[in-house]
Chain A
């Protein structure tokens, strides 16, 4: 069988730094092919070479056996390659139909858009994936998942032969992920190939046929998913021996637990609105308290309350024994609270600013005397964190947007560690971060706590909570409902605690 896409010996450098060297990728027709690797391994560069965003320096690309002439994203689309980006390029205010047929509208009398025909086509395309929605409604009224599916439907309606999905599930909840998987299987049935990029290795076993692993710009392996294990993939990504990893445990949290100190933070039946109605928490020095719960259970809202972003309606917050909620982030920082937000792009990095400026943003008031920044001290502090956390950047004045996700996350972690907060709130600190950086970040958190600071850890990954937290506060529908204490908590116990409180509402995925 002829490969649909065959890329071989691809080379690509940016300003002399190689991003890809001798990279290969082969996708068969009708195959769901996973592409995995740490951040910075070259996955996105590979995709961008394929879709004509970047020119390659060397190597061959063949589409269905013919040398590819794609040199712009538009040409890629016309050759049947559709890319579904994490940030969807659709128009939320226009109807679903318009988004699907945009640029290819059926016409009446040569210039009028034939809406009846358009709506019918849109409905038809969506129905093929079992999605039954009102196509005349604005796209923005639907969930991210549906919007993503509309993007895929648009791609399919343009006769795509290959659909590239970049981290498609990172913003979906469990039931939406199932719908997406259904669509992927449907695409496969119709003979469309899918290139699937994801950090969630468990997903690959459900839908992928083969998996190509990249590391440092090279293709390390291509395996049949059936014949491989999660451990093997991780070993390939990290370039480490799989037995070594198995012996270590999957996170780098495990280790000597520090002794508990004084109470630094106490929240007593705090409520900020309908999404956080009753939140209790006690945090000692030297401990990590996890907040566990499903999407929408109020974990992030709890963090926002502690940081003074959402004003509280009732209840009490006590910092260092003093009652009172911070009036806002600035006040919270002064009172020794740090908050690493969940959404790195929207709430974390300032893309055009340098690594240095991003890292010292929260520290700025302490770096200045009478409004003037002490540059020598700033550089010293930044360099120290770059060395300590092993941040990979060309230099500290490099724009942060040029760094890989894992390194950006380390810079943001440094932003908060630099202020030396007594209470550090981490909302999904390792989301969207590759396995290597994840372990590093986890070990920084542990060593920070061992110095006698307190950490509130929010995570959707049970593994991370169970291994990382000394105690876990389980949240459900805006309330803290249960507390689990380590040692002794297992993933099963945590799942049961969550499930127990789901029973009343019937469905596990009730959001």
Chain B
């Protein structure tokens, strides 16, 4: 009587959460090993890690917001805003006079401002009950605008080795930001699995009403998720600026919200909330990065790469549908 299960059901019933993602990753690696020239070289690894770190960092924050059943469209704009602020601070008179203080402030202040953006998003969503997609659309539009006003729409270039360490430094031969992403992942994983905040986060995404009636601090936890997401986006913005030794408010973090959402979903986050696979977000980011890289290295145009990304998202959502059923 037992009919053979359909493929996606079989994939979905596998014990390991990331199954589909892991399979995709392996396929990409194998393909590249055979077809992409010079793929198996340290330089390739280095380039990919330095590029994937920003997506991964933003995707982890996005995963937290998605876990509450929300979404944050403003991450790209917050990146631009934080990225625009940093050079302004260390290039200012105060920053030039005290290089150490300048660089410290150039990291701390933009992250603080990013955090305020998160508070804004969180309050809109959790207190004023605005739909997350609409609430974060406000900063999605205005955040980049503010960044461009701050920089008069100019490209700011600079030479500041201590600040650039964020994007070009090496630890044990691998990019600093890669280690940073990994460290953030470990901390967030601990927070989600071990703390009351993490438990409430998942409970709110699973059934907000029940979480509230059980005494869960729904507003605080939701605002917290948006703040962490925004601060991580700010950090990613700083890293991009540090990599380029230049801040371009028009392009920094452009379309990042889509990459981050895609990475989170590919990593196993459910858009209706209740699940926060942090390492899944990293896996998702790596897959998206590798697809981009594979197509680029094999001479496929950017436009086609966008289509490929869409296909990945469709596949991820498809597998998710059956996993729930």
Where the two chains meet, the residues of A that have a C-beta atom closer than 8 Å to any C-beta of B are 55-58, 71, 307, 309, 329-330, 332-334, 339, 341, 346-353, 357, 361-362, 364-365, 367-368, 371-373, 415
Contacts and interface: CB of A to CB of B under 8 A. Distances in A.
Interface in B105-160: none
A365 B210 contact: no
Contacts of A415: 214
Given A333-B215, A357-B203, A364-B196, 17 more contacts: A330-B217, A341-B213, A346-B209, A346-B210, A347-B210, A350-B207, A350-B211, A351-B206, A352-B274, A353-B202, A357-B199, A361-B203, A361-B210, A368-B196, A372-B195, A373-B194, A373-B195
A56 B1 CA distance: 7
A348 B196 contact: no
B35 interface: no
B194 A329 contact: no
Contacts of B199: 357, 361, 364, 373
B214 A361 contact: yes
Interface string B181-215: 00000000000001111011011001101111111
A178 to B, nearest CB: 31
Contact of A350 (B2, B203, B215): B203
27 contacts: A55-B1, A56-B1, A309-B213, A329-B212, A329-B214, A330-B215, A346-B207, A350-B203, A350-B206, A350-B207, A350-B210, A350-B211, A353-B206, A357-B202, A357-B203, A361-B199, A361-B211, A361-B215, A364-B199, A364-B200, A365-B196, A368-B196, A371-B197, A372-B195, A373-B195, A373-B196, A415-B214
Contacts of A349: 207, 210
Interface string B1-29: 11100000000000000000000000000
B5 to A, nearest CB: 10
B272 to A, nearest CB: 10
Nearest to B203: A350
Contacts of B274: 350, 352-353
A362 B211 CA distance: 8
Nearest to A12: B1
B222 interface: no
Nearest to B209: A347
A352 B206 CA distance: 7
Interface centre among A341, A346, A347, A350 (most CB of B within 10 A): A350
B216 interface: yes
B215 A332 contact: yes
Contacts of B211: 350, 361
Interface in B250-299: 274-275
Contacts of B195: 368, 371-373
A334 B2 CA distance: 52
Contacts of B217: 330
A332 B195 CA distance: 22
Contacts of B3: 55, 71
Contact of A348 (B197, B210, B275): B210
Contacts of B212: 329
Nearest to A364: B196
A371 B200 CA distance: 11
B4 to A, nearest CB: 11
A21 B210 CA distance: 36
Nearest to B191: A371
Contacts of A330: 215-217
Going nearest first, the 10 A-B pairs with the smallest beta carbon separation are A350-B206, A330-B215, A361-B214, A333-B215, A362-B214, A350-B207, A368-B196, A329-B215, A371-B195, A364-B196
Contacts of A371: 195-197
B204 to A, nearest CB: 9
Contacts of A372: 194-196
B195 to A, nearest CB: 5
Given A347-B210, A364-B196, A352 B275 contact: yes
B149 to A, nearest CB: 39
Contacts of A58: 1
B255 to A, nearest CB: 31
Given A330-B216, A341-B213, A352-B275, A57 B1 contact: yes
Interface centre among B2, B200, B206 (most CB of A within 10 A): B206
